[in-house]
């Protein structure tokens, strides 16, 4: 793969740059309850040297009833400052699943106007499989100021997505598994209707990954989007279950050079319970 410190870097790149004074590494692992995994405990037991733990559920909007919505700017700044991450740092985010939740944190940084951030391709499993160093010690953290410039165009709410669905002026792309998209499989959260946003297309995030959980190269990713009927000439809104795997689609779009994308933060956790918006089932 071609390393890009603004989107995706390889384990070889990270191993080469791990001692750079302005590099900061984040473990952003997050699992659904049914996975039976404790992200914080796994981080405490072993992580990439110097990595800080980024708790997606904590660095979120606690005022919202929806899961891990983007936090207010002030909260993001204070949490990152406490992690010793700020202006002038190159950030690399990874997770323990290979490539799952790390992209969500990449998007959060982008939303806050920070562009020197990349996802570790293949994540912690690939790092460990290759025999790279790990540690169980917490890093030494020094405060660092972060300047935030919120990027409104990278996030969408239910009203904006409903308008896009009705007007057809955006392509809406859903990262959930095909059975959930079609309304054939139950939703993991109680009380949600089954189906998808009318007019949306389905690109399960797993279709963009190789067997080792690295991301397919840009040309292959483009083929996946086109095969799913996504109109790449339009601005794209990505969505999923709760705004996590939608960021994998956003990362892939950025990699293929499609920069007019945004993420529906509430995703199906919101749309599926919103009484005034319609739901489609079956194929797109």
Provide the 3-class DSSP secondary structure of residue 23.
strand
Domains and CATH numbers, the chain: 8-150 (3.40.250.10), 153-271 (3.40.250.10)
Q: Choosing from 105, 240, 253, 277, which is the catalytic residue?
A: 240
pLDDT of residue 35: 87
Structure tokens at 254: 């950025």
Residue 284 in this model has a pLDDT that exceeds 80: no
pLDDT for residue 32: 85
Q: Is residue 146 scored above 80 in pLDDT?
A: yes
In angstroms, the CA 139 to CA 82 distance is 12
Mean pLDDT score of the chain: 96
The whole-angstrom separation of Cα 143 and Cα 19 is 19
Indicate the SS3 state at residue 11. helix
Residue 189 has a pLDDT of 86
The average pLDDT across 2-29 equals 97
Q: Tell me what the mean pLDDT of segment 2-25 comes to.
A: 97
pLDDT band at 61 (very low <50, low <70, confident <90, very high): very high
DSSP tally for the chain: helices H, then strands E: 10, 10
- CA 282 from centroid of its chain's CA atoms: 26
Q: Each residue of 101-118: pLDDT tens digit?
A: 999 999 999 999 999 999
pLDDT at position 275, please? 86
Amino acid 190: pLDDT: 86
- 150 half-sphere exposure, CB direction, 13 A CA radius: 10
Residue 13: the pLDDT is 98
Q: How far is CA 158 from the centre of its chain?
A: 19
Verify whether residue 221 is a known catalytic residue: no
Task: Write out the two tokens for 175.
Answer: 């990262």
Q: Are 122 and 61 in contact (CB under 8 A)?
A: no
Strands (E), the chain: 8-9, 23-27, 52-53, 90-94, 117-120, 155-156, 171-174, 201-202, 236-239, 261-264
- Binned at pLDDT 50, 70 and 90, residue 60 comes out as very high
Task: Please state whether beta strands 155-156 and 90-94 pair in parallel, antiparallel, or not at all (unpaired).
Answer: unpaired
Name the pTM for this structure.
0.97
Q: What is the DSSP letter of 135?
A: B
Confidence of residue 159 (pLDDT cuts 50, 70, 90): very high
- pLDDT of 131: 98
């Amino acid at each position: 793969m071609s390393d890009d410190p603004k989107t995706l870097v390889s384990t070889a790149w990270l191993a080469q740059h791990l001692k750079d004074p302005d590099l900061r590494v984040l473990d952003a692992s997050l699992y659904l309850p049914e996975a039976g995994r404790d992200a914080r405990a796994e981080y405490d037991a072993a992580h990439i040297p110097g990595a800080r733990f980024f708790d997606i559920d904590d660095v979120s909007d606690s005022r919202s009833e929806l899961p891990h919505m983007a936090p207010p700017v002030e909260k993001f700044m204070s949490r990152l400052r406490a992690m010793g991450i700020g202006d002038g740092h190159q950030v690399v985010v990874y997770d323990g699943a290979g490539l799952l939740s790390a992209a969500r944190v990449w998007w959060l940084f982008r939303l806050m106007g920070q562009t020197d951030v990349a996802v570790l391709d293949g994540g912690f499993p690939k790092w460990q499989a290759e025999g790279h160093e790990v540690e169980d010690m917490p890093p030494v953290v020094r405060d660092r100021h972060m300047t935030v410039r919120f990027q409104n165009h990278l996030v969408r709410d239910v009203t904006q997505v409903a308008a896009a669905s009705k007007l057809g002026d955006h392509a809406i792309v859903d990262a959930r598994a095909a059975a959930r998209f079609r309304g054939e499989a139950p939703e993991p959260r109680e009380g949600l209707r089954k189906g998808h946003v009318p007019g949306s297309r389905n690109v399960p995030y797993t279709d963009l990954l190789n067997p080792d959980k690295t991301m397919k190269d840009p040309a292959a990713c483009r083929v996946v989007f086109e095969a799913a009927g996504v109109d790449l000439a339009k601005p794209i809104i990505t969505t999923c279950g709760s705004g996590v795997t939608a960021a994998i689609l956003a990362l892939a779009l950025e990699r293929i050079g499609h920069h007019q994308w945004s993420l529906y933060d509430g995703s199906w956790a919101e749309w599926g319970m919103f009484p005034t918006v319609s739901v489609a089932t079956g194929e797109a």
